[in-house]
Amino acid sequence: MSETINSYFNQLVNKLKTIYSDNESESIAFMVVEHVLNYSKFRYSENRSQPFPKTKKGKWKTLEIRLLNSEPIQYIIGEADFFGLKFKVNNNVLIPRQETEELVQLILSENNSEKIKLLDIGTGSGCIPVSLKKKRNNWDIYATDISNNVLKIATENATENNAEITFLQDDICNSVAFNSDNKFDVIVSNPPYIPIMEIDKMHRNVKDFEPHLALFSPDDNPLIFYQHIAEFSQIHLNKNGTLYVEIHEKFANEVSRLFKNKELKNINIINDINEKARIVKANY
């Protein structure tokens, strides 16, 4: 008897569990079903007892081999979900994370003005500015990244999602993209924040596939990006403007102290859904 779609699914989930958690394994397997068979979850549950289509076996196997080599599913299919939208990704850009969706949600919940000028520093796939623009079409949104390869993908994502964003290449450690009378109401950033010394503790799917330019900060100064973001904000935030940064849970107090030393005020640490310190916000 030929094997069913369900047995292919279950076998893949079991193999993935050697690398990922149970929940992650299942959601990756659903993404494979969607990509290979073009089935939604509903269509899968309706058809799971059907024989697995012969013509799709090769594609399924190829994906399985890459997944079991720890390659993230999003790089294999070239796409990631974020805030209900689709973003193209390749190995130049970080795969957008759920914690960052919480950052977008916080900004939306705290900023209801019609007109806001906002800057995202280190934009990666463009997930933050594009998601914000889809909800606040009148906002004037800028985004920077040090890498032109990254900005290419971000620009494609803005176009695909029909979101008008101004992208500029800029190094936050030596910023030249904006003159001093260019002010923002909101500055947001999810900068690289993992000290390189943590690399040995990281999963292969992250350290071997995601761009190190997006992940790591130097061991001798892991807060270097926050220091430059704070100095940039001193010049470029409007009075009472707000700075939001995503952080490493270990560095909440250090980032807060650094912001205080840079004369930022109303500093708040905000936990993510897993109760880990994840966002620091401050006013100028």
Binding-site ranges for ligand SAM (CB under 6 A): 94, 96, 100, 122-125, 127-128, 144-147, 150, 171-173, 190-192, 213-214
Would you mind telling me the total number of residues written for the chain in this entry?
Answer: 284
Instruction: State which residue, 33 or 74, has the beta carbon closest to ligand SAM.
Output: 74
The residue (of 36 and 172) whose beta carbon lies closer to ligand SAM is 172
Which helix H or strand E contains 281, and what residues bound it? strand 277-283
Closest contact distance (angstroms) between CB of 149 and ligand SAM is: 9
Give me the least distance between CB of 76 and ligand SAM, in Å please. 18
Q: What is the smallest separation between the CB atom of 221 and ligand SAM, expressed in angstroms?
A: 13
Sequence-distant (6+) residues with CB within 8 A of 208 are 70
Q: How far is the CB of 195 from ligand SAM (least distance, A)?
A: 14
By C-beta, is 189 or 256 nearer to ligand SAM? 189
Bridge partners, residue 280, by sequence: 245, 269
Tell whether the torsion through CA atoms of 251, 188, 144 and 95 is positive or negative.
Answer: positive
As measured in angstroms, the least distance from the Cβ of 155 to ligand SAM is: 13
CB of 176 to ligand SAM, least distance (A): 11
Q: How far apart are CA 43 and CA 63, in angstroms?
A: 20
Nearer to ligand SAM, 125 or 233 (CB): 125
Burial grade of 89 (CB within 10 A; 0-12, 13-18, 19 or more):
buried
Instruction: With beta carbons less than 8 A apart as the criterion, state whether 74 and 80 touch.
Output: yes
Start-to-end CA distance of the chain, whole Å, equals 69
Instruction: Name which of 60 and 232 has its Cβ closer to ligand SAM.
Output: 232
The dihedral through the CA atoms of 242, 243, 246, 248 has a sign that is: negative
Closer residue to ligand SAM in complex, CB, 96/195: 96
Q: How far apart are CA 132 and CA 33, in angstroms?
A: 30
